[in-house]
Structure 1
């Protein structure tokens, strides 16, 4: 397995493309705070997953909106903020990368001058619309987050070339629901690869 990141914080574990030489799908597991978020479905269609990650990297590298404090969640705790975004504002959605991540409700939440990646799994909370879901999260330095998803996207690009035999043609693939295609005009190659930032204290939370 190719592991990028720290599983106790944020990481991806991807099966070697050598094991999938005749297929355009492979396995990608996502870890946040030591927990696996892709228990229900870790099969990724390489071209689509690569494209979705590219749009995410473009957006996070270009915009600082996701880092700015949000007056709408003033006075809320993290589970309350997650549910506020779930019901009112999907623009801060984190993992929106096709069927592989469809079981995950996740947001990047600016909280106390830092960023938390929060999530709950639909499969673990089938009654989430009527009962409070178990929401978990991890405090991350923004450069740690950017560096991890950037390196995973670059790995998926390599896989796409090796398995499918061509580069992803972005305009022919579906844009993640939470990212506006017309606002994403800066390619990752036009930005310097983010370096790993200093680690922030490991402070996961769990309202379960």
Structure 2
């Protein structure tokens, strides 16, 4: 049974069943703006993935996150900011990394995403970079999901907790000591 947190047309994590072979693996699909982000690898290593979700949650609620409350290039749209940051990534990696979002390991490494918070709205511009991407029409195009910041926090928080409790429960069910 799939459990969805959030909405596919804005931002969602869908949790599939635990892996039969390993209590440490699970199918997790991520969607933003109606696009499937985990299309290359949707099997997560739970301890790493949950830690990555937690890192983004911590980042979103710390005072430093308020620096994300404005676009780095105020005259540009969130999509244009995303493109500019990708172009500057090698020259000004600090600015790119400051706004980078969804650095969640192998399951999300086919997508480049930034996070901008403006007036309580989370803008999540993203693009796919792998030449082997399943939908060639999506390559070279930037997309942008937007939702209230509290909905983004709620979606990630609830998914992370569910993954954590299910992971612990699966270890107990299988008699595996953590």
TM-score by length of 1: 0.68
Aligned-residue offset at 1:14: 1.1
1:123 to 130, 133, 137: 130
Indicate conservation of the 8 Å contact 1:92/1:108, yes or no: yes
Shift of 1:45: 0.5
CA, structure 1 residues 45+104, in 2 after alignment: closer, same or farther (shift >3 Å)? same
Classify 1:66/1:152 alpha carbon distance in 2 versus 1 (closer, same or farther; 3 Å).
farther
CA–CA distance in structure 2, aligned partners of residues 117 and 30 of structure 1: 13
Q: Is the 8 A contact 2:69 2:119 kept in 1?
A: no
For 1:24, the equivalent position in structure 2 comes to 24
- How far apart are residue 59 of structure 1 and its match? 1.5
Q: What is the rounded CA distance, in whole Å, between the counterparts of 1:6 and 1:157 in structure 2?
A: 21
Higher share of residues assigned strand? 2
Q: Report the secondary structure of 1:20's partner residue.
A: coil
1:54–1:47 distance in 2 versus 1, CA, 3 Å: same
The equivalent residue for 2:48 is 48
| TM-score of the two chains, using structure 2 as the length reference | 0.79
What's the RMSD between the two structures over aligned residues? 2.4
Does the C-alpha gap of structure 1 residues 7 and 39 become closer, same or farther in structure 2, counting only changes over 3 Å? same
Query: SS of 1:11's equivalent?
Result: strand
**1:162 aligned residue:** 169
Q: Which residue number corresponds to residue 85 of structure 1?
A: 85
* Residue correspondence of structure 1 range 134-145 to structure 2 within 5 A: 134-145=141-152
**Aligned counterparts of 2:26 and 2:144: Cα–Cα separation in 1:** 26
Distance 2:77 2:132 in 1: 20
Count of matched residue positions in the alignment of Structure 1 and Structure 2: 160
Deviation at 1:78, TM superposition (A): 2.6
Partner of 2:136: none
The CA distance in 1 between the partners of 2:110 and 2:30, in whole Å, is 12
